[in-house]
Amino acid sequence: MITASDVVAQFAPKAKAAYRTAFEESEGLMNRYGVNTPIRLAHFMAQCMQETGALTLLVESGAYKRTGLARMWDSGNWHKYFPNREACLAMADQCAIDNGAALFSLVYGGRMGNGPASTKDGWTYRGRGVLQTTGRESYKKFGVQCGVDFVSDPDLVIAPEHALKPALAEWEAKHLNQAADNNDIKVITLGINGGTVGLDGRKAWFAKIWPFVTGAPAVEHSREWKVQEKLRDLGYKDVKVDGVIGPKTRTAILDYRVKHQLPNSPGISADLLLSLGLTRESVDA
């Protein structure tokens, strides 16, 4: 069976050394937490890859610029912490000075077991590790479960000998093996993220990793991938070629169908493939 370390080697060539070491020595720990079937491994690794930028992010970055803060404001995430949009964007000047210490102290303060902003708990216990453990409460809970004092020394969460422990403890606590067995990536994402931020990215990672762990053809050979390629070639620049049919791909399919007088459906069916010039042979190749 393909191992977690194999997945790292295949899909995370720039992985941080601490993560690489942790996954190289992970087999016993993964077995202990039951992440030892292809479907569970693929889902676990997809979440890890999304949370850490293919294992390149050890600690949550607070180096926000105005564009990044604008996205957070426009998505509604931080409305309760700032009186208006301009006040949120103005925090970019402070982030340039302290890398986000004031921002995280504010937006993570008073929740997730953190004290108020004045304690700077939000900064101290910002996201770390392969599943971005966040908040004093989680550092304490998983520290007790793992027998490691993550509260006194938060950076132990990203030490090679401990990096997978809080992630797997969280995975188990939220019963995500069962969700993986049901192939329910939305439930898994809700468990890890608390929402569905980055869901399409997580689906894209799963679409890459699943064929690799099962020995199936790579996602680049899927009909979804080939349809997206065709749509991009035809000028639908919002379509991301990743083998995952998300909202932008569905919108492009619907627009294409209207323009070519095809039945109004966002699905990929024989009429769409034929119109795009994708024969069965080309799709199956």
Can you give the residue range of the structural domain that contains 74? 66-121
Q: Are residues 165 and 207 in the same domain?
A: yes
pLDDT of residue 215: 92
pLDDT average per 10 residues of sequence, the chain (285 residues): 94 97 95 96 97 96 95 90 96 97 97 97 97 96 95 97 95 96 95 89 94 90 91 93 88 94 91 88 58
Q: Are residues 135 and 270 in the same domain?
A: no
CATH number, position 202: 1.10.530.10
Q: Are residues 267 and 232 in the same domain?
A: yes
Q: Are residues 45 and 173 in the same domain?
A: yes
Of 214, 249, 276, the last residue of a domain is 214
Q: Are residues 201 and 263 in the same domain?
A: no
Q: What angle do CA 94, 158, 22 make, to 5 degrees?
A: 150
pLDDT of residue 131: 94
pLDDT of residue 170: 93
What predicted TM-score, i.e. pTM, was given to this entire model?
Answer: 0.82
Of 121, 142, 161, the last residue of a domain is 121
Of 214, 241, 267, the last residue of a domain is 214
pLDDT of residue 207: 93
pLDDT of residue 222: 87
- Show the tokens assigned to 221: 């050979």
How many domains are contained in the chain?
3
Q: Are residues 240 and 106 in the same domain?
A: no
Q: Are residues 147 and 194 in the same domain?
A: yes
In sequence order, what are the residues at sequence separation of 6 or more whose Cβ sits closer than 8 angstroms to the Cβ of residue 85? 70, 73, 74
Give the separation between CA 4 and CA 206, rounded to whole angstroms.
Answer: 13
Q: Are residues 39 and 170 in the same domain?
A: yes
pLDDT of residue 280: 63
Give the separation between CA 92 and CA 226, rounded to whole angstroms.
Answer: 40
